[in-house]
Structure 1
């Protein structure tokens, strides 16, 4: 044995097993996990903005690529797409926001009166005779209209006044800027991401990624078309039936119609409840044609628009929408179906293909 060499013990050969070293590394790991949790909880709004911008960018990317095929350079296509998007948003804020704010204020101020008219209607009196729910409904309705926080929650924090509108404008600006950067750098981002895959499988990863991103883009465009048609039909029917606050309700319908599967049903319920304050004749005059349109949309409009975007079984779609809505609200419900389609595609191309080779 070399006299100058210090014999090593088992603990020195494997320092990971030393209790002090293990405790220190465990403490560092817990600290990093708490730091990551703190960062995520404090930048949650930023993550929502990034997700929304990426979702919009993927939705506009098919339009930009279509313009490229027509000979328009990609920067020109990006500029044209964003100008159209900014024009639509600007027109919305310039024309609809004052009306929406005015009608929202009127609805909140006159809400208790509408509730009393509904409670005194023949329809509700017949229901109350069977179930004795008048006192309970009146109590809950008064709580709703007395609590500004509840009112803000009903309208998603978008239809408020003052600081809520300013925050919405600021968030919209941030999303538009991020969308511009994502659109401009999307090809470079994809090429860089493909380099993370092994060289032998890079081509297959590229094909799968392009399929998924194209599906998301087509889905966004298709869902926007469906929501626009739904809101237009609802506005026409509300105008014919003279439903109060038709412009405000059209905006609500457009937002809810973006939510797949259940959004249109929720919109129908919301408008029906408001229409009941004007009488059962108004309600029937709106509900019958709107429900007929929803059937037409479900069997003819949506399949024709969405058949090229995603193909997800109904049960999987419902579960995905509920899970996405629980996690991220409206944005989660929007991205739930393309995310489910992407997972199913990956399972088919990777796991099922491997199982077939065994």
Structure 2
């Protein structure tokens, strides 16, 4: 059987793209033109770019040295990148966390014959409705109760000068009047700078919130593609197990976010009812504050309880003590009744790990770190249980 002669680079049958490198001169390109002929032959309808070739020998001394050098350079570059654009990465991570948290709700809508885009739009409408409801409830209450506070200022000032009143005793002990007078008599430039700084902080918070909202919508809309792309990064032999573990982690995050939101709404509602019954002022604003702070596990409800108790102290000492007792009882009910039934089945994190995770997360990233600490701890425990511990047991 006669052997097939090599293809002539000048015969026009090559893999040169007509939209690249024109005019095409096969004779001038030499060996490249011969490779283009081979490229034309291996390109098929099933594999337009040809079949995947043999992997490189990554154990050769050249590749080992190159990998070590590149690893050091890449690590240094990543550290510098996080230092420069740390806030951006926090926004991206928070957006992805919120998107994963809302994914169970969107998937539930899709399973009930909602198109994906309609499920995302539904969640967006609910989010905007919640924000609009918060503003609609907070602004009128803030105006009304602010006017009420301004009306009561003369009474508070009179109590400050009355040494037999509670405010008078606090003034004698902490010199509240002197500190307020010193603050108000400060230079106008200092006050202006403070107002300007407050305005910049509010604008930055609003801008960051809008960025997180937009990124969350994009992540939520593309979640199926993001999920598939993430699993494509695993080798084929390990991909099925990666899917099982990864989907379980995503479900835990989603259950935690939705459960935490439900518990926060319960905390705000019970607080509002309690404050209304005992006539504590600013009840709506305080209930909203409790609902927001309760989103932060472990420490959030405690801080909210202290603030509410201080406001209740302006009514009477017995009401303040009763409010403290209410928050202590609610905290026990939340920890031992609500959290185990609403969140506990989803994350399955021991109490000690929960406290340590919240403390470490809060120290690293503040409120955001404390918010995402528990699902991250749940994911790490799952990975340790499914991967690390079995390998250690076999070693």
TM range (shorter): 0.7 to 0.9
Choose 1 or 2 for highest CA Rg: 2
Q: Counterparts of 2:353 and 2:333 in 1: how far apart (Å)?
A: 23
Other-structure match for 1:40: 82
Q: How many residues align?
A: 314
Please state if 1:266 is matched with 2:303.
yes
Instruction: Mark the CA change 1:269 to 1:70 in structure 2 (over 3 Å): closer, same or farther.
Output: same
Other-structure match for 1:172: 209
Please state if 1:242 is matched with 2:279.
yes
Please state if 1:319 is matched with 2:356.
yes
Deviation at 1:247, TM superposition (A): 2.4
Please state if 1:353 is matched with 2:390.
yes
Instruction: Choose the corresponding residue for 2:117, options 75, 93, 97.
Output: 75
Instruction: Mark the CA change 1:38 to 1:287 in structure 2 (over 3 Å): closer, same or farther.
Output: same
Q: Which moved more, 1:218-227 or 1:162-171?
A: 162-171
Other-structure match for 2:105: 63
Q: Which moved more, 1:218-227 or 1:238-247?
A: 238-247
CA deviations on 1:203-226 (whole Å, 9 max, x unpaired) are 111111111011000000000000
Q: Counterparts of 1:298 and 1:145 in 2: how far apart (Å)?
A: 44
Task: Give the 3-state SS of the residue equivalent to 2:347 in structure 1.
Answer: coil
Other-structure match for 2:262: 225
Please state if 1:281 is matched with 2:323.
no
Deviation at 1:55, TM superposition (A): 1.7
Please state if 1:205 is matched with 2:242.
yes
Q: Counterparts of 1:86 and 1:113 in 2: how far apart (Å)?
A: 41
Other-structure match for 1:154: none
Deviation at 1:229, TM superposition (A): 0.3
Other-structure match for 1:303: 340
Q: Larger % of helix: which?
A: 1
Other-structure match for 1:96: 138
Instruction: Choose the corresponding residue for 1:194, options 231, 234, 241.
Output: 231
Deviation at 1:110, TM superposition (A): 5.5
Instruction: Mark the CA change 1:281 to 1:93 in structure 2 (over 3 Å): closer, same or farther.
Output: same
Task: Give the 3-state SS of the residue equivalent to 1:176 in structure 2.
Answer: helix
Instruction: Choose the corresponding residue for 1:49, options 91, 94, 101.
Output: 91
Other-structure match for 1:181: 218
Instruction: Mark the CA change 1:333 to 1:357 in structure 2 (over 3 Å): closer, same or farther.
Output: same
Other-structure match for 1:343: 380
Q: Which runs of 5+ in 1 are unaligned?
A: 1-13, 16-24, 148-159
Q: Which moved more, 1:241-250 or 1:218-227?
A: 241-250
Instruction: Mark the CA change 1:141 to 1:354 in structure 2 (over 3 Å): closer, same or farther.
Output: farther
Q: What TM-score do the two structures reach when normalised by structure 2?
A: 0.69
Other-structure match for 1:4: none
Asked whether the equivalents of residues 159 and 167 of structure 2 are also in contact (C-alpha less than 8 Å), the reply is no
Q: Counterparts of 2:384 and 2:162 in 1: how far apart (Å)?
A: 52
Deviation at 1:40, TM superposition (A): 3.2
Asked whether the equivalents of residues 118 and 276 of structure 1 are also in contact (C-alpha less than 8 Å), the reply is no
Other-structure match for 2:32: none
Q: Counterparts of 1:188 and 1:141 in 2: how far apart (Å)?
A: 62
Deviation at 1:104, TM superposition (A): 7.0
Asked whether the equivalents of residues 59 and 217 of structure 1 are also in contact (C-alpha less than 8 Å), the reply is yes
Deviation at 1:332, TM superposition (A): 0.8
Deviation at 1:262, TM superposition (A): 2.3
Instruction: Mark the CA change 1:48 to 1:146 in structure 2 (over 3 Å): closer, same or farther.
Output: farther
Q: Matches of residues 112-123 of structure 1 in structure 2 within 5 Å?
A: 113=157, 116=160, 121=165
Q: Counterparts of 2:215 and 2:371 in 1: how far apart (Å)?
A: 19
Q: Which runs of 5+ in 2 are unaligned?
A: 1-60, 63-68, 185-196
Q: What TM-score do the two structures reach when normalised by structure 1?
A: 0.75
RMSD (CA atoms): 3.7
Instruction: Mark the CA change 1:29 to 1:237 in structure 2 (over 3 Å): closer, same or farther.
Output: same
Deviation at 1:170, TM superposition (A): 2.5
